[in-house]
Amino acid sequence: MTDCKRPMSDSARAIFGVDSIAIKGGFLLCTGCRERGSCQFGITGEEVLEDGKVRTFLRCAANFAGGPDVAHGGWTSAVLDEMLGHIAVFHNSFAVTSSMTVKYHRPVPVERDLVGYAWIDRREGENWHLIGEIRLSEPSTLLARATALFIERDFGHYQRHEEWLDTHRGVGGFSKDE
C-alpha cells in the first residue's frame, strides 16, 4: 500500500483544485462534492495498492435505495464511474468516460460497508480500458463489475465544452440561467 502525496500535473491541478492528492486515508472529491466536503455517493476513502489497483471504501446511503434495502442501479453505475474516473488522476492524467458497461451480479445493500476496486486493463494511446468492481466488505462478495473506456483529455476539455454550450444557449428554450 502506498502512503504518500503525489504531485499533480498542471491540468489535473486546475481540474481538482489541489496541488497533490493524499493517497492513504484520503480521497478525491469531484467538482460537485468539493463544496460540501464529502462525497454524495458515499466514498469515504481511497488507497493505491502495490499492484496499482485503487481500493475505495464506500457505503450506499438509504436515500439511494431502489428497492427495499437495495441500492438503485443508477447509484451503482454512478459510483463505479466515479471510481474509474479517479484512475487517471492517480496516474497524473485526466480522462473522461466514453462508454461503460455494468454487470450486476447481486443486489447492492444499503447502509453496509462496501469496498471497490478499480484498475487499468490496458492503455492504447489516449484510450484507457478500465475495470471496476464493488464488493461487499465482509465477506468479500462481488456485487457489480464495470468495464469502461475512458479517453484522456487536457484541461481545455471543459473550456471547449462551455464554448460549445454557448453556441446552443437560447436554442430550444435553453438558457445559461437554467
Nearest-CA neighbor of 116 among 62, 36, 39, 9?
39
The CATH number of 5-173 is 3.10.129.10
- Asked if 1 and 51 touch (Cβ cutoff 8 Å), the reply is no
Give the list of residues 6+ apart from residue 175 with CB closer than 8 angstroms, or none. 169
pTM recorded for the entire structure: 0.76
Using pLDDT thresholds of 50, 70 and 90, give the confidence band for residue 7: very low
Tell me: the pLDDT tens digits for 79-95?
Answer: 999 999 988 888 878 88
- Asked if 6 and 23 touch (Cβ cutoff 8 Å), the reply is yes
- Measure the N-to-C terminal CA separation of the chain; round to a whole number of Å: 44
Break the chain into its structural domains and give their ranges: 5-173
For the chain, count helices (H), then strands (E): 4, 10
Spatial separation of the C-alpha atoms in residues 144 and 131, rounded to whole Å: 11
